[in-house]
A and B are shown apart, each in its own frame.
Chain A
């Protein structure tokens, strides 16, 4: 069952949030378990490194815990968590510490995060698309990750970015124009398959 789309689960989530707001740490754990994957994945998409993503995901849940009393328990938790993790990940992405960490990793001679040769064509395409998205500005990247990689609705994306749904649509439209340009120029594999698909 998807925790975020089911009315019944959302009701239970609100009960757990109320317990957590009263200082009950035990109630926070199932909420982390329910949302940790989405939180980790968004951090990973923005940062590109699983260790950094795990750090940021932890930090996001700790921050959320510290401010849970101010959260309205009738609202779904996921957009709020994703908004926190997006902010933290963006800051980490900008920080000098991350730059140094990236350089350090580059010299470790680690294998590529995924063994591309052994991956299916679908995985390769997805990696190429991710690379293409990384060429966009951070705000464009973020909206693309939320909407297409995490497959969130326009409404949920608007809650996370704290902008109107109309703004999400217009930003998406502009980001898609830019992404299409990048794909056509630098990622012909994706462009060819797109044309094939369109045909």
Chain B
């Protein structure tokens, strides 16, 4: 085979090989992490060791009260599938740094925006009814019962890419070009989210469980294999975990009201 023949043959092979229908890649990350967790946890802790650990923890907690020390120790906070970077280790590029592969355009903004988000919403795939969405995903879709006048979401999306993520969107009655609130349901083991340096990060609780409250603006990256969404968050976000699902509530309401909404979630009636 001369060089030209080989080149043509190689091209042909690549062209044919790309047609191979591989089985769906299983959730290897979850399986590996399940096997890793018991290994990273000590099985037996002696009383002496327990006391030593307690002392170390107290020292560590004290250090955490000093802002510079806290910044040095904690490089990122993890809650569910969300990691919040406090420093600037490797911030992902901002959406205007280049054409993102896709956009999730759901940002609750506290003021008027220069660009209406609704046209972008129109191009988002996976819109369906609430009932269809519930049939499509494996986790229960919950709706807030507070505030009582909130009503059902106007727009419902299921983003599917090796893991299904449900997104509920409430449109502002007074300003129909504006999104008043959005709620993401993200099952574990599929998507991952990175936030870089939110203006404010605050620990709180939803149903007595740890939750995180962040305030923008900050770049956010959702990714899953080769798929990546970039957004600039300019609103408030409450993140909490229940079972195998991470919840993100984007709203311009204050923390107390966001927690009230989060704690009022109920299955679809």
Contact = CB atoms under 8 A, between A and B. Distances in A.
A192 to B, nearest CB: 12
B269 interface: no
**Which of B23, B35, B37 lies at the interface centre, i.e. has the most chain A CB atoms within 10 A of its CB?**
B23
B239 to A, nearest CB: 15
B90 A8 contact: yes
A41 B32 contact: no
Nearest to A36: B28
Given A1-B226, A25-B36, A61-B32, A40 B25 contact: yes
A198 B37 CA distance: 54
Interface in B55-77: 75-76
B93 interface: yes
Interface string B109-132: 000000000000000000000000
**Which of B23, B28, B76, B89 lies at the interface centre, i.e. has the most chain A CB atoms within 10 A of its CB?**
B28
Contacts of B75: 19
Interface string A171-199: 00100110110000000001001100110
Category for how many chain A residues contact B:
35 or more
A39 to B, nearest CB: 7
B20 A197 contact: no
A26 B1 contact: no
Contact of A173 (B6, B12, B19, B228): B6
A147 B29 CA distance: 25
Contacts of B92: 8, 12
Contacts of B28: 32, 36, 39-40, 54, 57-58, 61
B45 interface: no
Contacts, number: 138
Interface string B8-44: 1110111011111111011011011101110010000
B20 A123 contact: yes
A122 B93 contact: no
A3 B25 CA distance: 17
Contacts of B225: 33-34, 36-37
A36 to B, nearest CB: 4
Interface in A39-66: 39-41, 44, 50, 53-54, 57-58, 61-62, 65
Nearest to B1: A177
Contacts of B228: 1
Nearest to A130: B20
Interface in B202-239: 223-226, 228
A148 B26 contact: no
B192 interface: yes
A166 interface: no
Given A15-B90, A28-B32, A190-B16, 8 more contacts: A32-B33, A50-B23, A126-B16, A126-B21, A151-B14, A151-B17, A177-B1, A193-B12
15 contacts: A3-B226, A8-B92, A29-B29, A29-B192, A33-B225, A37-B226, A44-B23, A54-B28, A58-B28, A58-B32, A61-B28, A123-B19, A148-B10, A149-B20, A194-B9
Give the 3 A-B residue pairs with the shortest CB-CB distance, closest first. Answer: A122-B19, A126-B19, A126-B20
